[in-house]
Amino acid sequence: MDILSILGLGAIGLGFLLAFLAYRLLATERTNNRPVYVYQVFCLALVLIGAWLQYSSNTSSQTVLDLQSKTQGLQEELVAYKFRLPELQDELNTAKLDVAAGKQMAEQLGEKLARSIAVMEKIASMVPESIQNLQAVNAILTGNSCSGGRGGEPIWGGNGTEMAKLSTIVISNLASAKSSIESVLP
């Protein structure tokens, strides 16, 4: 029996060795000595406690290994994120610049839109007056308002009817433009 290898097992080996020696002592004496039996129970308890400590030690060391593995993984992720941090900061700065440029462009477009609306409102207010003026010219061209010059001929030399048709088309176009402008104004 190799005592050193048994004691190498720790508390379990020590308890086993003491229990075995107590058994040999009892076998040789063949007496009814109560303290030896108590000693043997003590050795058995020592073996059980040693086994429990060994089990919990293995469980704790496995838990420690798991925690070390997780810690190692987290440290590697942290290093990777630290490595990518400048790249991510550059992307963030680029995005901030893009947002600022977009905001500036939106403000400029808003200003242009406000000016365009003002121009459209001005045009829309001028169209009705232009229509009235063209209708007055149309009345003159058709000869309804003027009997003509000294010789009794129409002012436009007989082309008044054709000119009236053209001015009627212009009046129609202006009325359509006025409706279109008014449909997009706020």
Whether residue 185 is predicted with pLDDT greater than 80 in this model: the reply is no
Mean pLDDT of 97-103: 94
Exposed / middle / buried, residue 68 (Cβ in 10 Å: 0-12, 13-18, 19+): exposed
The residue type of 76 is E
**Residue that wins the pLDDT comparison between 31 and 114:** 114
Among the residue ranges 66-70, 142-146, 161-165, the one predicted with the least confidence is 142-146
Is 10 within 8 Å of 58 (Cβ atoms)?
Answer: no
Q: Are 174 and 130 in contact (CB under 8 A)?
A: yes
Instruction: Give the separation between CA 181 and CA 186, rounded to whole angstroms.
Output: 10
Confidence of residue 31 (pLDDT cuts 50, 70, 90): low
0.75 exceeded by pTM: no
Helices 34-141 and 160-184: crossing angle in degrees, nearest 10, is 160
Residue 100 has pLDDT above 90, yes or no: yes
**Mean pLDDT of the residues in the chain:** 76
Write the pLDDT tens digit of every residue in 138-152.
Answer: 666 665 445 555 555
Q: Inform me whether the pLDDT recorded for 52 exceeds 90.
A: no
The C-alpha atoms of residue 74 and residue 66 are separated, in whole angstroms, by: 12
pLDDT over 60 (residue 50)? yes
| Residue 81: Cβ-neighbour burial (10 angstroms; 0-12, 13-18, 19+) | exposed
Which domain covers residue 82, as residue numbers? 3-184
| pLDDT value for 27 | 67
Looking at residues 17-34, what average pLDDT do you find? 69
Contact residues for 127 (Cβ-Cβ < 8 A; gap 6+): 174, 175, 177, 178, 181
The total domain count for the chain is 1
The pLDDT value given to residue 107: 92
